[in-house]
Copies of this chain bind each other. A is one copy, B any other.
């Protein structure tokens, strides 16, 4: 059983694997799937994954057979284990609990393909529908407080399988960056009685200088204090606390905006590796007036990060205003 351990000074939680390493070198090379497929995520290879949790099947074919368009399965190498109690406990100065949680993979399409933008808007909508479905289901488990949905695009961004997929990790703790955002946005609300995300959306639409796409329902922008070149956020225009409350119609609109955003990044940066992370309100919080779900997309174009890992201090060589201008001018297709 992996452990969730808390750094006693900085307060961050880390999943620490329990398996003892054989030799240090065993950790040097990340296993990656063969290029070009077919792979365990392809249609016809259903036996290569753990049994499916849910799938979108038009023809009513049985689980774990052909005939699906998107499919959710448990991660074969899960970071957290779904069975067991948390058993929160101390160890001298330190705090820890069992590494209980869920770790699932959303396989975004049946043919071997490497990029979600190869899908139609309708197929991307199915993927977003599965995000919502899994969050809504997993939040019923009272051990869990957060559903972290993310997508690693390209080996350089940490993807070990090239077949296009997303992941969800459901945890008994809230990720540090979401905690920071909750604290900051709550402080703003106490002072101003307004949601800081709503204010930001309003200001960005008004000034336009960091805006990439302005849509009736969603806003795509380069944040004022972008940590990374071409860091891009997608936010709903109206106050919406959590992703899983999106309506069916809004999922369709979001699919279109997400595809358009990723296409622009691909065109501008020549198919960059990237990480996409969903920030949303924890399961056990009510309809807070101060927080607003959003996607953060981080292209991994500047090669490697340096000392930022050890300091939390960022240097960004591309002003977000320049990045936004490039992305506005680039053609989507």
Please give the residue numbers on chain A whose beta carbons come within 8 Å of chain B beta carbons, in ascending order.
5-21, 23-25, 27-30, 79, 91-94, 148, 150-152, 155-159, 167, 169, 171, 175-181, 183-185, 188, 196-197, 199-200, 203, 207, 223-230, 268-270, 275-277, 296, 298, 300-307, 309-323, 326
* Cβ contact within 8 Å between B316 and A17: yes
**For the complex, what is the distance from the CA of A188 to the CA of B224, rounded to whole Å?**
34
* Cβ contact within 8 Å between A275 and B307: yes
* Cβ contact within 8 Å between B275 and A312: no
Please list the 7 inter-chain residue pairs (A to B) with the smallest Cβ-Cβ separation, ordered nearest first: A158-B306, A176-B312, A277-B310, A177-B312, A150-B307, A175-B313, A7-B225
**For the complex, what is the distance from the CA of A20 to the CA of B325, rounded to whole Å?**
11
With a CB–CB cut-off of 8 A, which chain B residues contact A316?
14-17
* Cβ contact within 8 Å between B322 and A21: yes
**Nearest Cβ in chain B — how far from A28, in angstroms?**
6
* Cβ contact within 8 Å between A310 and B275: yes
* Cβ contact within 8 Å between B158 and A304: yes
With CB as the reference atom, state the residue of chain B lying closest to A276: B310
With a CB–CB cut-off of 8 A, which chain B residues contact A148?
307, 311, 313
With a CB–CB cut-off of 8 A, which chain B residues contact A24?
229-230, 268-269, 318, 323, 326
**Nearest Cβ in chain B — how far from A96, in angstroms?**
8
* Cβ contact within 8 Å between A152 and B15: no
With a CB–CB cut-off of 8 A, which chain B residues contact A28?
269-270, 301-303
**Nearest Cβ in chain B — how far from A19, in angstroms?**
8
Q: Which of B25, B223, B306 is A275 in contact with, Cβ under 8 Å?
A: B306
Stoichiometry (number of copies): 2
**Nearest Cβ in chain B — how far from A209, in angstroms?**
10
With CB as the reference atom, state the residue of chain B lying closest to A77: B317
* Cβ contact within 8 Å between B319 and A18: yes
**For the complex, what is the distance from the CA of A181 to the CA of B196, rounded to whole Å?**
26
Given contacts A9-B185, A303-B29, contact A312 B175 (CB under 8 A): yes
* Cβ contact within 8 Å between A196 and B93: yes
With a CB–CB cut-off of 8 A, which chain B residues contact A223?
7
* Cβ contact within 8 Å between A176 and B8: no
Given contacts A181-B9, A275-B306, contact A301 B27 (CB under 8 A): yes
With a CB–CB cut-off of 8 A, which chain B residues contact A27?
229, 301-302, 317-318
* Cβ contact within 8 Å between A13 and B157: no
15 contacts between A and B (CB under 8 A): A8-B188, A13-B225, A14-B227, A15-B314, A16-B316, A20-B321, A21-B319, A21-B322, A28-B302, A30-B303, A93-B199, A150-B306, A158-B304, A275-B309, A300-B304
